[in-house]
């Protein structure tokens, strides 16, 4: 089921073209333009204003920035690359996977294919797992590819200012392989439950946006501040979110039932 859904997404330009544009802007265009301008600006009033953003970082992060170079432009570009662009690694996969997940179950009912799934030999849990994988893979895969390109850009633009290639840092590795996956799973556990209960894709999109917005805000705050204070704090936050995601997925699996796939369950 996951392979079928992923193949359908790959064959739908109206899905993957906006996805590529979104990832390309956040991981390539915006970082490349901003880092190039700041690195090339040397000293200017604009650099001094941007440099004040470093003050909002945790003390450990500020010490890391100041220890790399005494150059104001170098410190600013390093802080932007390592700390202030970090939330993008959370927002991009959540946006993509939420868009896919919100439509995955209610879309079956709207297309009339829910009856086929309801009479398939797969168990309810297998149906849920297939839909979960098909929703998670596009967002996370796009993010990992964007992360690789972003790493190259940062090293080419900022590296010469701070003594060579330095990115990804240990904090970014923790974020990408330990923190982002459970935040994504937790978000999808909510979105798939909504998709199984509502009666239209439009309602699923609106409800998913309202429900997942707090999760996005929390992950944004953590990735830009507390998590990036130290690697250990990132591991601790990731562990807590893994536990929450496991509970959410277990509860979400109960939302996929045959009556709901057939559209005859009136409960919301």
Tens-place pLDDT, residues 102-132: 888 888 877 777 777 777 788 888 888 988 9
For 207-257, write each residue's pLDDT tens digit. 777 766 666 666 566 555 555 556 677 788 888 889 999 998 988 888 777
Distance between CA 158 and CA 167 in Å, rounded?
9
Sequence-distant (6+) residues with CB within 8 A of 198 are 106, 204, 207, 268
Distance between CA 37 and CA 31 in Å, rounded?
10
**pLDDT interval class at 164 (50, 70, 90):** confident
Backbone torsions φ then ψ of 54, nearest 5 degrees: -65, -30
User: 0.85 exceeded by the pTM?
Assistant: no
The answer to whether the CB of 192 falls within 8 A of the CB of 252 is yes
* CA angle, 124 then 107 then 128, to 5°: 20
């Amino acid at each position: 089921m996951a392979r079928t859904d992923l193949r359908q997404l790959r064959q739908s330009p109206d899905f993957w073209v906006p996805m590529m544009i979104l990832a390309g802007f956040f991981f390539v265009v915006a970082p490349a333009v901003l880092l190039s301008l700041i690195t090339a600006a040397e000293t200017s009033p604009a650099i001094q204003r941007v440099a004040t953003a470093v003050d909002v970082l945790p003390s450990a992060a500020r010490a890391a920035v100041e220890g790399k170079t005494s150059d104001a432009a170098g410190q600013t570009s390093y802080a932007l690359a390592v700390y202030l662009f970090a939330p993008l690694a959370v927002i991009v996969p959540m946006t993509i996977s939420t868009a896919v997940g919100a439509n995955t179950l209610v879309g079956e009912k709207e297309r009339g294919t829910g009856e086929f799934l309801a009479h398939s030999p797969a168990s309810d849990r297998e149906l849920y797992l297939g839909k979960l994988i098909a929703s998670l893979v596009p967002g996370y895969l796009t993010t990992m590819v964007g992360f690789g390109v972003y790493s190259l850009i940062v090293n080419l633009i900022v590296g010469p200012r701070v003594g060579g290639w330095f990115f990804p840092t240990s904090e970014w590795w923790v974020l990408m392989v330990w923190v982002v996956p459970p935040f994504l799973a937790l978000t999808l556990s909510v979105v798939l439950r909504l998709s199984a209960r509502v009666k239209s894709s439009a309602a699923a999109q609106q409800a998913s946006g309202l429900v997942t917005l707090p999760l996005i805000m929390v992950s944004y705050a953590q990735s830009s501040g507390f998590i990036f204070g130290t690697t250990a704090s990132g591991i601790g936050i990731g562990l807590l979110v893994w536990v929450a995601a496991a509970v959410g997925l277990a509860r979400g699996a109960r939302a996929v039932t045959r009556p709901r796939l057939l559209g005859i369950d009136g409960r919301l």
